[in-house]
Amino acid sequence: MQAIWTQIDRDAAGRPRFTEHRFRAGAEYHYPASTVKLPVAVLALEKVNALAASGVRRDSWMVTHPLLEGDTLVDRDSTAASGRPSVEHYIKRILLVSDNASFNHLFEFVGREAINARLHALGFADAEIMHRLERPLPPSENARSNAVEFRDATGRVLHRQPADTAPVHHPTRRDLLGVGFLADGRLVNAPFDFSLRNRWTLEHAHRLTQWLLFPETQPADRRLRLTREDYAFLRRYMGMWPAESADPVVAPPAWPAYVKFLVYGSRRDAEPDAGLRIYNKVGNAYGFLTDAAYVVDSLSGAEFLLSASIYVNADGILNDGRYEYEEVGLPFLAALGREVLAAERRRRARVESQRGTD
């Protein structure tokens, strides 16, 4: 288990001051799963802004051409009110339901080499986002990016991006986990090798969440190339409850507090607390559960950043689908989030009480 808790206090002018507490953050490799979707979404918005002179916007019609075996032309999206895919709509689906296909299309649009070069320039020096999700492909194919077109509402092409191939990547780390893994239905009695899998640490996830909610805390030489509207868009959908979304409409199996691991876990019957907002991105795969969140309670005035990751795999076998998510991991993250929220509410009440006696 790893965690980072950042307490937030504000001065008389409303400027935030941060006090950070860490527990085992970075102690070992944790598979990031879907938490890699947020940085790629951010970089996709940066790339759209770089194409603004061509008339490309985040809601422009995005067409992805087939490249790899099993690919098809992607020029329609039945979940969008317009019926058309776009960077904007893919990001909505990433933040509302953690959609894998949406991430894959943005990964292809930005390109593996550009993703990692930009993350390193932003200060995430050991980040490695190497592959698509929920689509097992060899490294050579994950290095290939599909051709993409952007069109206006009439179908006129605004920008064409050809297919591309990133340079061969050789592992610079050795991340082995577990005592065995399943491959093609057979048990291999050896650790599972994550050395060419995505690396996006809890520290990375925590810091990016902070930057998106508090851009003034970014180092001056590492500013995200986002507009004020981009920040507002990302915050809106990071903090949106599924029932609040009209485009896309979020249907079951999503529930009222879906993908809010901290505070709510997987409680399908839990209605969001009045006044509470959780701006976050979660991930779960291979026994790893992670959530990086900014939590704000408008009723009490409590606000804080909390990121946590837990590994639940009692038998040590990877890829067998037997992980203690429901029994251990999600209840733990929910309890952790509730405990920190309760502590911050009490702390805020003490602060307000002290101000009242000054």
* Residue 165, φ and ψ in degrees, nearest 5: -135, 125
* Residue 170 lies inside a defined structural domain of this protein: no
Q: Return mean pLDDT, the chain.
A: 96
Q: Over the stretch 110-152, which tens digit does the pLDDT of each residue have?
A: 999 999 999 999 999 999 999 999 999 999 999 999 999 999 9
CATH number at residue 261: 3.40.710.10
Q: What is the mean pLDDT of residues 36-57?
A: 98
pLDDT at 357 over 70: no
* Residue 193 lies inside a defined structural domain of this protein: yes
Neighbours of 268 (CB within 10 A): 13
* Residue 172 lies inside a defined structural domain of this protein: no
* Residue 212 lies inside a defined structural domain of this protein: yes
């990751």: which residue's tokens? 309
Contacts of 136 (CB under 8 A, 6+ apart): none
User: Structural domain tally of the chain?
Assistant: 1
The residue range of the domain holding 352 is: 2-165+177-357
* Residue 273 lies inside a defined structural domain of this protein: yes
Question: Distance of CA 60 to CAs 83, 92, 236, Å?
Answer: 12, 14, 19
Using pLDDT thresholds of 50, 70 and 90, give the confidence band for residue 356.
Answer: low
Q: Over the stretch 174-229, which tens digit does the pLDDT of each residue have?
A: 999 999 999 999 999 999 999 999 999 999 999 999 999 999 999 988 899 999 99
- CA–CA separation, 49 vs 95, rounded Å? 20
* Residue 343 lies inside a defined structural domain of this protein: yes
* Residue 106 lies inside a defined structural domain of this protein: yes
* Residue 171 lies inside a defined structural domain of this protein: no
